[in-house]
């Protein structure tokens, strides 16, 4: 068990750390080719992370409607779930001093949660416009985590897909 907590800095230092954290984590996400390929972007407000999937022609699965490919929707939800869980996990590591932002910025990829299973519920078709998603960590255990994620387009109360996934957390090598 790790109990040591990072020493708090001044108000300015804490604010700067959070800004740097956002820059570093967005860079980490962009370093994943598949996330860059889909064009997923992240926006953090406090502890709330919103993933954005701008519409692109290449994401279409049904050209007659047209609608976003179901596989793209699944991938978007999974990327959101993994990124939300990774941020939670990495922030805890930052607090205990196990994560070094300098090494992260130098391109060292930390070990991240692995998807065990992922169940997607398709509620309505994804229209050819921008999509948004947010994940809620239902349980973050030391070995397993359970995450629920929702996606919508224009109207947040009309979800077009939701999913629940289970994840294997990175284990300490000792």
Closest CB 165 distance from other proteins, rounded Å: 9
DSSP string, the chain: -----PPP--HHHHHHHHHHHHHHHHHHHHTSHHHHHHT-EEEEETTEEEEEE---GGGEEETTTTEE-HHHHHHHHHHHHHHHHHHHHHHHHHHTT---HHHHHTTPPPP--EEEEEEEEE-SPPPSS-EEEEEEEEEE-SSEEEEEEEEESS-TTSEEEEEEEEEEPPPP--
Closest CB 122 distance from other proteins, rounded Å: 5
Q: Which is nearer to other proteins, 33 or 46 (CB)?
A: 33
Interface with other proteins (CB under 8 A): 31-38, 57-63, 69-72, 74-76, 78-79, 109, 112, 114-122, 125
Q: Which is nearer to other proteins, 16 or 168 (CB)?
A: 168
Closest CB 67 distance from other proteins, rounded Å: 8
Q: Which is nearer to other proteins, 17 or 162 (CB)?
A: 162
Q: Which is nearer to other proteins, 92 or 121 (CB)?
A: 121
């Amino acid at each position: 068990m790790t109990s040591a907590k990072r020493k708090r800095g001044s108000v300015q230092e804490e604010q700067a750390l959070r800004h740097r954290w956002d820059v570093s984590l967005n860079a980490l996400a962009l370093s994943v080719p598949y996330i860059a390929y889909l064009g997923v972007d992240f926006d953090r407000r406090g502890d709330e992370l919103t993933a954005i999937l701008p519409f692109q022609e290449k994401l279409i699965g049904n050209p007659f409607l047209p609608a976003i490919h179901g596989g793209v929707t699944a991938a978007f939800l999974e990327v959101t779930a993994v990124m939300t869980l990774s941020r939670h996990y990495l922030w805890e590591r930052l607090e205990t001093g196990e994560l070094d932002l300098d090494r992260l910025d130098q391109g060292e990829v930390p070990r991240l949660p692995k998807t065990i299973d992922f169940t997607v519920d398709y509620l309505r078709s994804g229209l050819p416009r921008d999509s948004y998603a947010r994940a809620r960590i239902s349980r973050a255990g030391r070995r397993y985590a359970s995450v629920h994620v929702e996606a919508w387009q224009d109207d947040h109360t009309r979800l077009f897909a939701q999913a629940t996934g289970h994840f294997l957390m990175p284990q300490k090598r000792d």
